Amino acid sequence: MKGFGCFDFIDVRDGRLEITGWSSGPAASIDEFRIELDGVPVASTGALERPDVLAAAPARTGWSTAGFEASIACEGAGLSDWVRIAAIARCQGADVATIDTAYVRDFAAGLPLPPARLRERICGSESEPYYWTSAVRSLGEFLDAYRAHADLASVRALLDWGCGCGRLTSLSARFLPHAAIHGCDIDEEAIAWCREHLAPSRFRAIPLRPPTDYEDTFLDLVLGYSVCSHLSRADQHAWLEELERLLVPGGLALLSVHGTFAAGSHHHSPETRAVIAEDLAREGISDRVPDVRLDGVAPEGYYLGVFQTPEWTREHWSRHFEVLEVRERAMAGYQDLVVLKKRG
């Protein structure tokens, strides 16, 4: 079963792979975790108390012992190429939840680190280790989905739509060196930082709503992490039309959304969760809950907490693209990943 959680830290130090994080499923308190590399068990560790996780979701059963730490002798073997690291939560001898991530040694070596305020704005934490481990996890999830439909070697131009301070853009440039990498965002401060520190990738500030001044049909791939999950249905349609204009025929857009799992797991009040559930049952989408995390960057009422069912997404987004698949909970076990292909 796919779990909900994150890897706080992954690095190779003194010939050992050091991993910390947390994960929990619907079961009672977790007893232990099994760590796997590419499906091979390499360590077992007792579950640790994580008061920070419990404080964020006090009503969640089993989240008091959601933590794990592992130190694995590796001497770097097998970590120079992409591997899959999995943490499997166990309760009373049974596997109950799994989180995983792509990983490659020294993936962020030499890359500039944005200021703490920009890191917090884009991923909800100022932590440097979490900034990088969440970045490589997200990029790995995007690349997994892309490889299921096309060859990465075919990507000549990529746009990180809603790039913030370049969390994914910088890694995309490293692992797709043959492609021209572009990033855009409404956050002018973040874009200014990217322009100064992440050349030769190219960055533009964009308006709240399209059009942009990008040329037609110059992109092969668009990545959009946690953008549509904060746009009203009207703004979603407007931006999907714009992305369709920018992509070459057959080009792909990989966009994350809050699906039904996120709707039931988000840390809203019970009253707000009830509103979201009612909207989903009636319309398949809830786009009337404000999100204040971009206050000062986006005007009031623009940035929302938006939740939508896979059925709604397939029906309505197919106006603009061929919906190849909706990968439920494919992004960090939380957001759904929608794979779109431009017709023609």
| Residues 329, 240 share a domain | yes
**69 and 137 co-located in one domain:** no
DSSP state letter for 296: T
Least confident of 104-118, 197-211, 247-261, 267-281: 267-281
Q: Is the peptide bond before 115 cis (omega within 30 degrees of 0)?
A: no
pLDDT(226) > 90? yes
Same domain, 140 and 207: yes
Sheet-wide strand order for 40-46: 40-46, 32-37, 83-91, 94-103
Q: How many domains does the chain have?
A: 2
Token reading at 217: 């049909």
Tell me the CB-side half-sphere exposure of residue 249, using CA atoms within 13 A: 2
Domain that holds residue 178: 116-341
pLDDT in tens, 134-180: 999 999 999 999 999 999 999 999 999 999 999 999 999 999 999 99
Q: Is there a single domain that holds both residue 168 and residue 268?
A: yes
Q: What does each C-alpha distance from 257 to 264, 306, 310 come to in angstroms?
A: 14, 8, 9
Residue identified by tokens 């059925």 is 311
188 — pLDDT class (breaks 50, 70, 90): very high
Closest residue by Cα to residue 49 from 24, 19, 18, 16 = 24
Do both 194 and 317 map to the same domain? yes
CA angle centred on 306, ends 303 and 307, rounded to 5°: 170
Please check whether residues 53 and 169 belong to one and the same domain.
Answer: no
Number of residues that make up the chain: 344
CATH code of 68's domain = 2.60.40.10
> Rounded to whole angstroms, how far apart are CA atoms 21 and 160?
27
Q: Which among 78, 103, 128 is the end of a domain?
A: 103
111 is a domain residue = no
Higher pLDDT: 96 or 184? It is 184
Tell me, yes or no, whether 135 and 59 share the same domain: no
- pLDDT value of residue 337: 98
**Whether pLDDT at 309 is above 60:** yes
Looking at the fold, whether 182 and 129 belong to one and the same domain comes out as: yes
- 3-state SS, residue 36: strand
Residue with tokens 């796919």: 2
Residues 103/143, Cβ–Cβ less than 8 Å: no
Using a cut of 0.75, tell me whether the model's pTM lies above it: yes
pLDDT in tens, 235-280: 999 999 999 999 999 999 999 999 999 998 767 888 999 999 999 9
| In a shared domain, residues 158 and 240 | yes
On whether both 15 and 141 belong to a single domain, the answer is no
Q: Are 108 and 135 in contact (CB under 8 A)?
A: yes
- Contacts for 197-205: CB closer than 8 Å, 24+ residues apart: 197/112, 197/114, 197/166, 198/112, 198/166, 198/169, 198/170, 198/173, 200/173, 201/166, 201/169, 201/170, 201/172, 201/173, 203/163, 203/166, 203/169
